[in-house]
Amino acid sequence: MSARNLEVEDLSQFRALVADGERSMSGWHLQSLDLRGQDFSGLRVSGAVFLGCQLDEGVELKLRARGALLFPQIPGVPFDPYRSRLYSGAELYDGLSEGYEQSLDGRIYQWSLATERSLDTSLATAMHDHSIGDAFEELFDHELAGQRVVGVMGGHASSRGSESYAAAARLGAALGAAGFTVATGGGPGAMEAANLGAWLSPQPTSALDWALERLAEVPDFRPSVQQWALAAQQVLARFPEGATNLGIPTWFYGHEPPNIFASRIAKYFANAVREAILLERSQGGIIFLPGAAGTVQEIFQDGCENYYASGAAVAPMVLLGREYWTDQLPVWPLLRKLAEGRGMASRILLTDSAQEALDFLE
């Protein structure tokens, strides 16, 4: 095994490498490991990178002196800047029984509001987002390698119990059943609905019907995020096994809590990074449901990338809702005009039919 540019993400992996005879740690990146009690005397540590690891007293100075690069733990932050994995809904809502403000997600959001910008906080959030991006890349290198990812974009205004919410959920279920991996912005409304449908796509339609009825009892995350999230937890308790799907939310819009129906959650502090990654990874195409400013931004950001792309690099774009995208928010005429004479011209669609959207992507 080559030890160059190796990410070491748990203690058992570190011990296995040493047991297999590895002696040079050059290129090793050790992330958030508790390395107290470990013996480094027989290892060449020059070129190793330690990211927020716990070490015995005095060991850090010795490692630095021998050529290792150490990024220290950052005090006073309620998250791990060097985490090696994506979030789950259970992790983000840990502590929810005491109220949303006591959950991990709530504490991080409150920290982001109350903390003044400084070198320490900027380093913590930048390293966190880098670590999340790295974990996201690993997901596509392994579990999702070769999978067709389709983005479903839409606003948070669709309340549980509404027809628009149910339609988004059925769209997510249809995409999952067709073999697509659904990705959303990871928030409430249409985003939650699409993640819900994707999660339940292996189940009979009666499962989604039951979930929609149960969730409608708590239509919105206002006034209580706690009750909104607890209702979703009840759905997951009844259907604990579901299809892999993605949520990519942000604390920039911290007033919009993350939904827990995304099985993998890549939550970022920097919204611009989150938006770029969501669009970049939706190479199977994107369906844009009715939304407001954020959705319009995503349409034209995606349209810009497709405008300059060529051949197979152009990803399909579907605007679902003729009247909405031509009259209420007349995005379609401008998008169609931009596409004229470009490679994207045949890759954009305006429709009222979810089935037509699915056929277009396939």
Q: Where are the beta strands (DSSP E) in the chain?
A: 6-8, 28-31, 49-51, 69-71, 149-153, 181-184, 246-247, 264-265, 286-288, 317-320, 348-351
Q: Which of 71, 90, 115 is the last residue of a domain?
A: 71
171, 46: one domain: no
Determine, yes or no, domain membership for 170. Answer: yes
Rounded to 5 degrees, φ, ψ at 87 are -85, 160
Threshold 0.85, pTM exceeds: yes
Residue 94, domain member (yes or no): no
* Residue 40 falls inside a structural domain: yes
- The pLDDT assigned to 8 comes to 94
How far is Cα 185 from Cα 189, in angstroms, rounded to an integer? 10
Asked if residue 282 is part of any domain, the answer here is yes
pLDDT of residue 73: 87
Domain boundary among 71, 86, 107: 71
Query: What residue ranges of the chain have pLDDT lower than 50?
Result: 1-3
- CA–CA separation, 169 and 148 (whole Å): 19
Is residue 109, in this structure, part of any structural domain at all?
no
Distance CA 186, CA 194 (A): 9
Residues 30 and 151 in one domain: no
**Whether 149 and 266 share a structural domain:** yes
- With DSSP H G I counted as helix, E B as strand and the rest as coil, what are the percentages for the chain, rounded to 5? 45, 10, 40
**Total tally of structural domains belonging to the chain:** 2
Indicate if 174 and 279 belong to the same structural domain. Answer: yes
Domain of 39?
6-71
- Same domain? For 142 and 67 the reply is no
| 62 and 160 in a common domain | no
Q: Judge whether 50 lies within some domain.
A: yes
Amino acid at 73: Q
Cβ atoms of 85 and 135 closer than 8 Å:
yes
Q: Give the long-range contacts of residues 89-95, CB within 8 A, separation 24 or more.
A: 89/232, 89/236, 89/258, 89/259, 89/260, 89/261, 89/262, 89/265, 90/260, 92/258, 92/260, 92/265, 92/267, 93/229, 93/233, 93/260
Of 16, 37, 71, which residue is a domain's last? 71
Q: Are residues 181 and 267 in the same domain?
A: yes
Asked if residue 112 is part of any domain, the answer here is no
Same domain, 287 and 147: yes
Evaluate whether residue 96 is within a structural domain. no
pLDDT tens-place string over residues 267-301: 999 999 999 999 999 999 999 999 999 999 999 99
**One domain, residues 182 and 261:** yes
CATH code, 315: 3.40.50.450
> Residue 3's pLDDT is what?
45
